[in-house]
Amino acid sequence: MLDIAWNPTLNTLTRNAWRLSFGGGIAPVQRTPSTRIREAPHQDLYRFDSTETDGGRPVLLVPPLAAPAHCFDLRPGQSLAAHLAGSGKAAYLVDYGTMGYSDRGLGFEDWIDDFIPAAVERVSRLHGGAPVDLIGWSLGGTMSLLTAAGRNYLPIGSVTAIGTPIDYESVTMIAPLRMVGRFTGDRPLTPRLRRWADSPRRWSRRATASPRFSASSPSRGSSPGTCTTPRPSRAWSPSTGSWPTCRVIRPGSSARSAPS
């Protein structure tokens, strides 16, 4: 039987349904002032405005694929971008923009080989070649880790992954499908994902618009802490199937080394 924490999930869904139906609804997004410093398809680069910086390493926010870029910048008091800018950090954001049917051919390699490296290099140049600290949420953390691991020449100072599945074998919902795949010789998720990717945008949006877990209650398999890895000294090795190691820090536990 699947070990799923249903009570917190149902409580969150009930509260959200009540507020949407009888409450004030969803509060409007209030963006932190920012300036677009580069415009390109699916890789617009913004810098959050701040009065002064501490002269430290710049920070690049890397959003996931199924959430808007303003997930880091919701409203005052709920904005990582505002917190960084207010703390004197030079904070940047890469924005993928709107995805359409014509983008169905894009894959992880486009982000790992092009979008994220281009943003890292541009931010670094703006700061005299300084290393860039990446902060990625969910798949943004996955893509940041893959970028750092596969391109050790990039000026990456660190990668912080928030709510990013590090060990996919521990993701409860995927475990049964992986077990079936051992006997069928196929990944049951792969055909489904490919069919979704080939669907028109309106159907893709509908498929990904299901209720999500609250940020205060991460799903199993996601790290509620941070995974920070220094600039990697080696890339992915096909022969050993290994990545550079990182430090995974979880609340209430000591740090341990784990493959990223």
Summarised one tens digit per residue, pLDDT across range 8-18 is 677 878 887 88
How much is the pTM? 0.64
Give the up-direction half-sphere exposure of residue 69: CA atoms within 13 A in the CB hemisphere: 21
Token output for 49:
């405005």
Note whether residue 118 is domain-resident.
yes
SS (H, E, C) 3-38: CCCHHHHHHHHHHHHHHHHCCCCCCCCCCCCEEEEE
Q: Is residue 56 part of a domain?
A: yes
pLDDT of residue 204: 43
Structural domain containing residue 107: 27-167+215-232
Q: What pLDDT digit, counting tens, does each position of 142-158 carry?
A: 999 999 999 999 999 99
Residue 189: predicted pLDDT: 59
Mean pLDDT, to the nearest integer, of 66-70? 88
- pLDDT, mean of residues 23-37: 83
| Domain CATH number, residue 63 | 3.40.50.1820
In the structure, what pLDDT confidence band is assigned to residue 132 with cuts at 50, 70 and 90?
A: very high
pLDDT at res. 8: 65
pLDDT band at 94 (very low <50, low <70, confident <90, very high): very high
When comparing pLDDT for 188 and 159, which is higher? 159
Taking 80 as the threshold, does the pLDDT of residue 76 lie above it? yes
What's the whole-number mean pLDDT along residues 201-208?
47
Q: What is the pLDDT of residue 221?
A: 42
Flag whether 183 is in a domain: no
| pLDDT at 21 exceeding the cut of 90 | no
Q: What phi, psi does 177 have (nearest 5°)? A: -70, -35
**Inside any domain, residue 175:** no
**226 inside domain:** yes
Q: Which residue has the higher pLDDT, 1 or 157?
A: 157
Output the pLDDT for position 169: 72
Confidence of residue 7 (pLDDT cuts 50, 70, 90): low
Bridge partners of 19?
Answer: none
As a whole number, mean pLDDT of residues 24-39 equals: 85
**Residue 256 falls inside a structural domain:** no
Q: What is the mean pLDDT of residues 236-242?
A: 44
Residue located via tokens 């893959």: 146
Contacts of 217 (CB under 8 A, 6+ apart): 5, 8, 9, 12
Domains: count for the chain:
1
Position 185 in a domain? no
| Domain-embedded: residue 188 | no
Mean pLDDT of 242-260: 43
pLDDT of 187 strictly over 60:
no
| pLDDT, the chain, mean | 75
For residues 68 and 53, the model is more confident at 68
**Distance separating alpha carbons of residues 91 and 76, to the nearest angstrom:** 16
